[in-house]
Structure 1
Amino acid sequence: MTIPVLLAVLGAALLHATWNALVRIGASRVGAMVVLSVVQGGVGFLIALTRPFPSGEVWLWLLSSGLIHTAYKVFLTFAYEHGDLSRVYPLARGTAPLVVLVVGSAVLGESLAAAEVAGIVTLGGGILMLARGVWTSGESLKLLPFALGSALATAGYTVVDGLGARSLGDATAFVGWMFLLDGIGLTLFMLVVRGSAAIPRGWRAWGTGGVAALASYGSYWVAVWAMTLAPIALVAALRETSILFAVLIGWLIFRERMTPGKAASVGLIVAGVVLTRL
């Protein structure tokens, strides 16, 4: 991976943590995510119209990606309704590289290097410590299945989007159509589950959600673009440096409690991600 691509991915990680923090602002996590998805879909559609129309086979990748991204946002939204940014985010993001590595070894028959095995053990230890903190700190246990569901979806869309963008040969077009499909799917789902209450009425929610949408769009476009130039697993792992940004934002801005145990577990997660890529 070249230095410019590396710096771009690290910048994307910061943007990713930032939009997650913006979703945590306000009373309605559902409303914030709906606004984010609607704006992303609109922007994606306008950008996609400037590119050549995808061929038939690429739509299989796009439809799969749209569904998985919708599932990711649903899980993440409900996780934030039950937990702090500095607890949910590391669980949701840090587990994904672990899932990708384990599935790649067990299902696809990919061999693991010693550093990757060490990374898995370290990463798993950090995740277990962080999950254990939910019990010891009195937080809602309901956040766990949603955070881990979000992690599984992250692992899924990482592979699908990397391969899909390579198949199309145009990261910009792929991301545009994907966000349009995702925006439609997420909005329809939330309307069915929460009704018209899922649509925010105030301008502040739309303003915050719009900024989050642009940060999210830019972050993911960079990631998909990077996956067309560098190994998918490497890009995915580097994106998880966003864990550090998210924890710092939760601590410094939202005044979330930073216990020694939480700090240690996050450090292990990040160390595990780094070890898997050595």
Structure 2
Amino acid sequence: MDVLTISLMLAAGLLHASWHSLVKSGQNQITVLAGMGTVAGLWAVAALPFVPFPAAEIWPVLLLSVGLHIAYKLCLAGAYTRGDFGQAFPLARGMVPLFATLIAFIGLDQLPSINQCVGIVMVSSGLLLLSLEKIHRLAQWPLLLTAAAAGAAVAFYSTVDAYGTRLMGSWLGFTAWLIVLDSFAFLLLSRILRGPVLWSEFSTARWRVVVSGILGLLSFCVFLRALSRNPVGAVTTIRETSVLFAMAIGVILHREPLSSRRISGAFLILSALVVITL
């Protein structure tokens, strides 16, 4: 992987952690997710006249990806209602690199290098180390299950999106159509789940919605651009360094504890990034 890609993915990691923090701190996670998606979708609509219309073979990939993205958001909202930011976020991301690498190998015939394999295992170990505190308690198992489901959805949609960008031949075109379809499909689902109160909740959380929408849009565009040019496992692994930013945000903004286990997990993740860049 080139230095530019690594730098962009680190920036995407910071953006990713930032919008997740905004979602977690909102009064209703589904409302914030729907609102930020709508903001991103409106920006993406403006790009549609300048990108190609998807061919027939692209639509099944887009629809599958939309379903996976919606499943991720629902699982993520469930995880954030059950755990603190510094625990739920790493749990949701912990197994993504391993899942994504395995799925990309089976579905896309992408075989990572030895360094990338070592780095992927190190990142996953570090993420789990960050998040497994107090998980032995019975009350924490719903958090574990919803977070694991969110991680699996990320791994699957990462691989599907990587395939879609290659199949369409335009990463920007695939990204724009995906964001539009995903955003408005989730908005419709949120309206069904929340009822008419959704619109007043949008108004109450308007600044949180707008800022998270812009951050999420930038983060996802950078992510898909990297997926279109590099192995899925390596890209998703570097993206998971967002957990380091999330840990800092959790300590500074959410007043969450900084334990030795979380520090050790952060060191593992940083070491893994060095291994991958070599």
* TM-score (norm. length: structure 2): 0.87
- Counterpart amino acid of residue 76 in structure 1: L
Alpha carbons 2:105, 2:111 under 8 Å: kept: yes
- Counterpart amino acid of residue 247 in structure 2: V
Partner residue, 2:66: 66
Name which of structure 1's ranges 203-212 and 1-10 shifts more when overlaid on structure 2.
1-10
| CA-to-aligned-CA distance 1:101-125 (integer Å, 9 cap, x gap) | 3445678887676555644654554
The whole-number CA distance in structure 2 between the counterparts of 1:155 and 1:273 is 19
Partner residue, 2:95: 95
Partner residue, 1:261: 261
Give the share of equivalent positions with the same residue, in percent.
30
Counterpart secondary structure, 1:135: coil
Name which of structure 1's ranges 31-40 and 180-189 shifts more when overlaid on structure 2.
180-189
Counterpart secondary structure, 1:42: helix
Partner residue, 2:162: 162
- Counterpart amino acid of residue 9 in structure 1: M
Where does 1:80-159 land on structure 2 (aligned, <5 Å)? Answer: 80-103=80-103, 115=115, 118-119=118-119, 122-123=122-123, 125-135=125-135, 140-159=140-159
Alpha carbons 2:65, 2:160 under 8 Å: kept: yes
- Counterpart amino acid of residue 4 in structure 2: P
Partner residue, 2:186: 186
Partner residue, 1:211: 211
The whole-number CA distance in structure 2 between the counterparts of 1:148 and 1:94 is 8
The whole-number CA distance in structure 2 between the counterparts of 1:231 and 1:110 is 6
Alpha carbons 1:35, 1:199 under 8 Å: kept: no
Alpha carbons 1:240, 1:273 under 8 Å: kept: no
The whole-number CA distance in structure 2 between the counterparts of 1:263 and 1:199 is 41
The whole-number CA distance in structure 2 between the counterparts of 1:268 and 1:34 is 34
Q: Which stretches in structure 2 are left out of the alignment for 5+ residues?
A: none
The whole-number CA distance in structure 2 between the counterparts of 1:138 and 1:9 is 36
Partner residue, 2:201: 201
Counterpart secondary structure, 2:141: coil
The whole-number CA distance in structure 1 between the counterparts of 2:205 and 2:149 is 26
Alpha carbons 1:13, 1:241 under 8 Å: kept: yes
| CA-to-aligned-CA distance 1:176-206 (integer Å, 9 cap, x gap) | 1111111122223233333334444353412
Q: Which stretches in structure 1 are left out of the alignment for 5+ residues?
A: none
| CA-to-aligned-CA distance 1:114-149 (integer Å, 9 cap, x gap) | 555644654554455445313368974322111111
Alpha carbons 2:116, 2:234 under 8 Å: kept: no
Partner residue, 2:233: 233
C-alpha spacing 1:36/1:52, structure 2 compared with 1 (3 Å)? same
- Counterpart amino acid of residue 16 in structure 1: H
Name which of structure 1's ranges 198-207 and 55-64 shifts more when overlaid on structure 2.
198-207
The whole-number CA distance in structure 1 between the counterparts of 2:84 and 2:150 is 15
